[in-house]
Structure formats: C-alpha cells, structure tokens
C-alpha cells in the first residue's frame, strides 16, 4: 500500500485571517438547543440490526444503540479564551439521542497541548463552565457525552506560545514531544509545513520532555479530568492516536529515549498506562476510555502514517498497548481503521476508502472490553461489523457532521446530507462560525446549498487505480 506523498501542508487551505483575533460568541443570543424534525411521509420500517440494540450487561457503559458521534476537530472555540459557546451547545444537542453517546472534539488539557487555531480547552474554570452548557443540553435529550482529552505534542509549534491567552498562563508552552524528532517528509526527509496563528510555518524541532517533567504531564491530564467532572461530562477519552503526543511515545520513530519511557515495548506504552491508571482513579469505573490508531506493516511499509510518525514494529507495540488496557475498567477502546486518504476524500460517491477492508479487527481477540471502531464506515459496512460482532460500536465522523439526525436516518434508511469538507476547519480566528457547523438540515427541511445521497450510493462510483495509505489530517471517520 502506497504512502501518502502530499505532505506540503498538514492543514486544509487557510482562509484570510483578520488582523486581530476574531471576537468570541459569549454575548450572542443562544438559539434553541435543537430543532424538532418536520413531519415526513412514507417512513420506511426501522432497520433490523445490532446497531439499534443496547450494549450487553457486561459493558461498563449503558447505551440504547451503537452509533456514536466520533471526536471531530471543528476549530470553533472563542478567541482568545478557547471556550465552547452557543454554537457548540446547538451542535452537540442536535446530535444527541436518548441512550446515545457523543464524543467531543479533541479538547486541549493545557496551554502546552494546543496545536491548532481556535480549538477548545478544559484547563480553566471558564472553559469548564462553558462546557457545562453543552453537557446540560445533551443530558436534557437523554444522551451521554465524553470529553476527548488532547495533547498534540510535536504537532504544535513554538509560535503558539505567543498567543495572548497561552502566553499569560504562566504554564509550559509548545512544542514538546517524546524526543527532539522533527516532522519530515517520509521520502525526501525535508521538513513539513503546518498552519498556525502566524500563517504557514515550517515544522520546528520539538523539545524532548525531561524525565522529571513526566509527573507534571500526568497531572495536566488529571487537572483536565477534574474539570470534566465539574463540567458534567459522563466520562473522558484519552486521545492516544494519530501521531499526537501519547502516540509519539508509542512509536519508535518519534521515541528515541533511553530512560524508562523509551526502548522496550513496555517502556513506550508506560506513559499511556500512567495516564489511564491515574484518570481511572479520578473518574471511576466505566468513565475513562482510550483511542488508539494501530498501524501494520504491508510489504515492509506502514499502511498509514499519521503526521509522518514512523514505527518499525507496529505489529508488536500496538498489540502490547491494547492488551495492557485490559487491566482497567474502561468504558470502551476506540480504534481507528486506517483507511482515510486525502487523494480520495471529498466525493463520497467515488471515495475508495469506503470499499477498503478492515485491518484492526484482529484486536477483537486481544481486548476484553467494549470495542469501538471509526474510519471509512458506510451504513452498510457499519451494520455488517456490528452484526458480526467484530466491533461493539461504530463512530461516525463526516456523516455525523452533515447529518445531525444521523441515528434516525440510519434507522429508517433515509438519504444522507453530503458533507462539505471545505468548512470542516474554518476556525473562529479565520472568521468561521455556523456555516458548515450548525446549518446542515434535518430530514424534511430545505436543503439550501447542500445535497443528499442515498446510503447505497456511497462509494459506488469508484475511480480506477489504487488508493494511498498515508493521510494525516484530522477527520478520518
């Protein structure tokens, strides 16, 4: 399988930014939390599938169905305080269902963790109070919501330290990693570029975290978890995937340490286990979860590289990591199926990823708890994976972005709104807001500029040629 070679920019094209930070939304009137769908005609009978059955009694998580909102970066937090606001309330509440699970967008645990413009945090009281409005709205509809805890590690750049809110925090600032390994093109070895508040920048060499800093790092996660409890979240998800900080410790291409956090398989998953164990003590049974993105070697090459994160032994280290998580009473383990490629994404009618086979189903035999997957699922392939018992839950990303009422559309076989990738990451800093965020129509509402697609047509008109396997932007679900 080919590696992705389009590494010129790790971010989507940037819109022109205002000269100063765009205003926040704290003074904006709050619209209704959600809209009731209009009356429709000729509703097909519900789809019979494990998708619409509760999780088994052995699970630490009680849910009425198996469809989950995947964690999706949307860059709509207020500036400069990086808080959720009334659009977040509307966004999450409109996707909440009775007995359903939502996972928030990746949420930064500390100033040091921030690596994209206008992403929300959970380290201040103001941020926690703002998230409380979101959780209250979700709970009012009978739903559950977990907060994904995020530290991007070397993906961030030192210039983020000049952001006024981060700069005045008095806390450690970017960029850090397991080792001082720069992000470079996997073939040319040239530095990659990313987009920050300052514009397009060459990725810097990160600072390697010192051994004596590790307890502080774990405490940063603990601090964020305590704020999640105060904000009313039902649980937290540790983002240990996609080439971000914890994954940088797991992979030996980014972890060249010689202390107890580097070298052996056990040492490379040590940070993951320290964080998860500590959070379980704070949150309690069934209120902590983990996301991993296992890769595998195909003809000596990784089948996916997230942010150019190399690993020489993925078929050893990821099974070790997964098995190590059996010691904790986790709500679930979410695995990314590595099928996304920037070459195909954008047109769901021709996107080849939807026809690629599963590659991480082997972890079903290794993990003893509730197992979730996300990455390139269609309604049909999600149903098949659930009915076969390969996975217990399926996380939808892009289709949940464009369909607030996705659960009911899947239940009854209705056509889906087609997502608009161009507005996925239009940040507050760049003037982004409701467009592409909270303006997708419910079933029966006018489509406006959007269009629909029948579920059976997803990926049907396939292009000829092979698909790449090295995508590295954030929405892969």
Q: Kindly list the catalytic residues.
A: 244
Residues 6+ apart with CB under 8 A from 294: 314, 318, 319, 321, 322, 335, 336, 338, 360, 363
Cβ neighbours around 160 below 10 Å, total: 23
Indicate the pairing of strand 207-208 with strand 176-177.
Answer: parallel
Residue 374, beta-bridge partner list: 336, 395
Residues 6+ apart with CB under 8 A from 300: none
Rg (CA), the chain: 21
Q: Which of 282, 34, 32, 288 is nearest to 143 (CA)?
A: 34
CA 227 – CA 206 distance, rounded (Å): 28
**64, 289 contact by CB (below 8 A):** no
Indicate the pairing of strand 199-202 with strand 193-196.
Answer: antiparallel
Segments of 204-248 assigned E as strands: 207-208, 235-239
- Looking from the CA of 289 toward its CB, the CA atoms found within 13 Å total 30
CA 444 – CA 229 distance, rounded (Å): 37
Chain centre distance of CA 477: 9
Cβ neighbours around 42 below 10 Å, total: 4
Q: Is the bond preceding 175 in cis, omega lying within 30 degrees of 0?
A: yes
């Amino acid at each position: 399988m080919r590696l992705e070679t389009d590494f010129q920019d790790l971010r989507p094209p940037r819109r022109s930014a205002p000269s100063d930070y765009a205003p926040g939304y704290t003074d904006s009137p709050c619209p209704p939390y959600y809209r009731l769908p209009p009356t429709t005609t000729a509703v097909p009978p519900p789809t019979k599938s494990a998708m619409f059955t509760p999780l088994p009694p052995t699970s630490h998580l009680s849910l009425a169905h198996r469809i989950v909102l995947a964690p999706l970066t949307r860059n709509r937090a207020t500036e400069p305080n990086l808080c959720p606001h009334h659009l977040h309330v509307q966004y999450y509440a409109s996707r909440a269902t009775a007995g359903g699970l939502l996972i928030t967008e990746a949420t930064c645990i500390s100033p040091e963790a921030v690596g994209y413009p206008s992403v929300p945090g959970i380290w201040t009281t103001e941020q926690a109070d703002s998230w409380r409005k979101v959780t209250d709205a979700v709970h009012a509809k009978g739903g559950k919501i977990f907060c994904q805890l995020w530290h991007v590690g070397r993906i961030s750049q030192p210039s983020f330290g000049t952001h006024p809110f981060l700069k005045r925090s008095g806390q450690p600032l970017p960029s850090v990693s397991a080792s001082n390994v720069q992000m470079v093109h996997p073939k040319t070895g040239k530095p990659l570029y990313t987009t920050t508040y300052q514009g397009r920048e060459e990725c810097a060499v990160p600072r390697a975290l010192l051994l004596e800093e590790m307890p502080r790092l774990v405490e940063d996660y603990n601090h964020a978890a305590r704020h999640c409890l105060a904000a009313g979240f039902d649980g937290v998800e540790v983002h240990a995937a996609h080439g971000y900080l914890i994954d940088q410790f797991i992979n030996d291409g980014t972890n060249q340490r010689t202390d107890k956090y580097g070298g052996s398989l056990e040492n490379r998953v040590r940070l993951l286990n320290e964080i998860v164990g500590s959070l379980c003590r704070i949150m309690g049974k069934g209120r902590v979860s983990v996301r991993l993105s296992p890769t595998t070697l195909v003809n000596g090459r990784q089948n996916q590289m997230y942010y150019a994160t190399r690993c020489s032994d993925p078929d050893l280290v990821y099974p070790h990591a997964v098995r190590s998580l059996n010691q904790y009473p986790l709500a679930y383990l979410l695995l990314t199926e590595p099928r996304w490629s920037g070459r195909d994404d954008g047109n769901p009618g021709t996107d080849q990823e939807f026809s690629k086979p599963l590659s991480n189903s082997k972890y079903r035999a290794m993990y003893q708890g509730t197992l979730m997957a996300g990455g390139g699922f269609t309604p049909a392939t999600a149903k098949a994976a659930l009915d076969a018992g390969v996975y217990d839950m399926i996380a939808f990303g892009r289709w949940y972005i464009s369909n607030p009422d996705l659960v009911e559309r899947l239940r009854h076989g209705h056509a889906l709104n087609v997502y608009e990738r161009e507005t996925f990451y239009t940040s507050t800093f760049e003037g982004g807001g409701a467009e592409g965020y909270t303006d997708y129509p419910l079933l029966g509402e006018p489509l406006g500029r959007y269009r629909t697609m029948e579920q059976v047509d997803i990926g049907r008109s396939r292009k000829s040629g092979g698909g790449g396997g090295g995508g590295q932007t954030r929405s892969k679900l």
